[in-house]
């Protein structure tokens, strides 16, 4: 066989294998992407797994996966490129019926909800003459909670009762919480006598009641840097700092048994809000001291979009319209206008105690704030 025939045969083989790979190269290729955990805190390192399987006899000489990843999830390996967006690219070579699993370490840079959807899959023939593309659904997500800091790092007002969270102000005796017995004192009702303890000690003993706080705590973050909601937030780091403060306080107060809630004039990111609503609902979690409350607050803060549903005075007006009372309200805000102060005065007249921490708009990176 002369050289011409060899070249012809080779070209035919190249053409045939190109046709084969263009038609079946991506057939019976399965891909799965998962995070090892559903949530993490800012600064945590998380693990993402790529799992790809070739369920056919034909080997795959090369296969490239490409997907868009938020720049707030930073790969520790050098497997990302930035071209306007951030992309994660991975190259595989698969033998017949082979499964390959790769694990990637990512650092969570910023609070947020990060869904991952489709992955672009590309393969081709052995010599690289042809390429075949497809899009594979590989939905997963990670929720990144705000940073938790020590309460003494938060610039609370010097007179704030939150400065010593274990000491609660407004307390009343709770008839349903028993805390042992004590000796009878003049004026004690006879229906409070513990007759068994009296018989045992030969002195009149009274059932002792524990105390509980009759006020709830609501922690609010004002997303306004100006009163005009049409102007974008130009200092996101400041709002992130406030959200971190809010989560940190809720962590301690709920742990101490104080019913705590959270609110802000932002709104949920998609898909947790209705995109057709002209004005999206503001965020407000009513106070509770249940075990799930802190996780609920963290999840809510993580899924809050860096935008405003309304201005903050409108947000406070919702509380006024609801008739909120007997509530301690702690507000983190960068601005304190006359209109906001008027709303605060109304809330105080309704029987609420309001404390304000004014954040320093020029010192977010240094955690700047001052209390008022």
Helical packing angle, 293-302 and 236-255, nearest 10°: 170
- My answer on whether 344 and 272 are in the same domain is yes
**DSSP 8-state code for residue 304:** B
Residues in the chain: 372
- My answer on whether 220 and 364 are in the same domain is yes
pLDDT of residue 176: 44
Q: Which of 187, 213, 239 is the last residue of a domain?
A: 213
Any idea what the CATH number is for the domain that residue 305 is in? 3.40.50
pLDDT of residue 183: 76
> Does residue 11 lie in a domain region?
no
> Does residue 299 lie in a domain region?
yes
> Does residue 53 lie in a domain region?
yes
- My answer on whether 300 and 318 are in the same domain is yes
> Does residue 297 lie in a domain region?
yes
- Are 147 and 43 in contact by the 8 Å Cβ rule? The answer is yes
> Does residue 7 lie in a domain region?
no
Any idea what the CATH number is for the domain that residue 81 is in? 2.60.40.1530
Dump the DSSP string for 97-153.
T-EEEEEEEEEE-S-EEEEEEEEEEEEE-TTSS-EEEEEEEEEEEEEEEPPP--GGG
Q: Which of 95, 111, 145 is the last residue of a domain?
A: 145
- My answer on whether 189 and 241 are in the same domain is no
- My answer on whether 207 and 236 are in the same domain is no
b/e per residue 353-365 (b: at least 16 CB within 10 A): bbbbbbbeeeebe
Distance CA 111, CA 68 (A): 18
301 alpha carbon, distance to own chain's centre? 5
Dump the DSSP string for 229-292.
TTSPPS-HHHHHHHHHHHHHHHHHHHHTT--EEEEES--BPTTSS-TT-SSPPPEEEEEE-STT
pLDDT of residue 370: 46
- Are 122 and 132 in contact by the 8 Å Cβ rule? The answer is yes
> Does residue 14 lie in a domain region?
no
- My answer on whether 265 and 349 are in the same domain is yes
Domain count of the fold of the chain = 3
- Are 41 and 144 in contact by the 8 Å Cβ rule? The answer is yes
- My answer on whether 230 and 359 are in the same domain is yes
> Does residue 19 lie in a domain region?
no
Longest dimension (CA), the chain: 122
Pairing of strands 45-54, 99-108: antiparallel
pLDDT of residue 133: 85
Residues in the chain with pLDDT values less than 50: 82-84, 163, 165-177, 210-213, 363-372
- My answer on whether 140 and 156 are in the same domain is no
pLDDT of residue 230: 84
Q: 201 lies in which domain range?
A: 171-213
> Does residue 42 lie in a domain region?
yes
- My answer on whether 235 and 339 are in the same domain is yes
- My answer on whether 96 and 69 are in the same domain is yes
- Beta carbons within 8 Å of 304's beta carbon, 6+ residues apart: 243, 264, 266, 267, 268, 269, 283
- My answer on whether 136 and 224 are in the same domain is no
- My answer on whether 36 and 101 are in the same domain is yes
């Amino acid at each position: 066989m002369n050289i011409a025939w060899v070249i012809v045969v080779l070209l035919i083989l190249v053409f045939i294998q190109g046709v084969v790979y263009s038609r079946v190269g991506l057939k019976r290729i399965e891909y799965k992407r998962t995070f090892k955990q559903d949530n993490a805190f800012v600064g945590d390192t998380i693990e993402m797994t790529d799992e790809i399987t070739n369920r056919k006899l034909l080997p795959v000489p090369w296969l490239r996966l490409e997907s868009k990843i938020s720049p707030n999830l930073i790969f520790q390996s050098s497997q990302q490129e930035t071209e306007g967006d951030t992309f994660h690219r991975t190259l595989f070579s698969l033998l017949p019926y082979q499964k390959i699993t790769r694990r990637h370490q990512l650092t969570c840079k910023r609070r947020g909800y990060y869904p991952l959807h489709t992955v672009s899959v590309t393969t081709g023939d052995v010599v690289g003459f042809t390429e075949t593309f497809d899009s594979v659904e590989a939905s997963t997500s990670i929720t990144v909670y705000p940073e938790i800091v020590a309460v003494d790092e938060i610039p609370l007002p010097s007179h704030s009762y939150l400065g010593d969270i274990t000491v609660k102000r407004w307390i009343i005796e709770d008839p349903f919480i028993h805390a042992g017995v004590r000796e009878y004192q003049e004026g004690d009702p006879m229906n409070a006598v513990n007759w068994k303890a009296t018989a045992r000690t030969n002195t009149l003993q009274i059932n002792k009641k524990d105390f509980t706080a009759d006020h709830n705590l609501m922690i609010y973050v004002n997303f306004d840097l100006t009163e005009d909601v049409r102007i974008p937030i130009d200092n996101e780091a400041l709002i992130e700092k406030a959200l971190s403060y809010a989560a940190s306080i809720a962590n301690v107060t709920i742990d101490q048994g104080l019913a705590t809630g959270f609110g802000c004039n932002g709104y949920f990111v998609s898909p947790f809000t209705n995109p057709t609503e002209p004005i999206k609902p503001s965020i407000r979690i009513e106070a509770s001291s249940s075990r799930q409350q802190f996780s609920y607050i963290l999840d809510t803060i993580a899924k809050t979009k860096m935008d405003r549903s309304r201005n903050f005075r409108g947000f406070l007006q919702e509380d006024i319209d609801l008739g909120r009372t007997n509530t301690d309200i702690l507000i983190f805000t960068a601005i304190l206008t006359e209109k906001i102060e008027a709303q605060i005065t109304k809330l105080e007249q309704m029987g609420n105690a309001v404390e304000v921490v004014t954040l320093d708009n020029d010192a977010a990176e240094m955690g700047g704030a001052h209390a008022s």
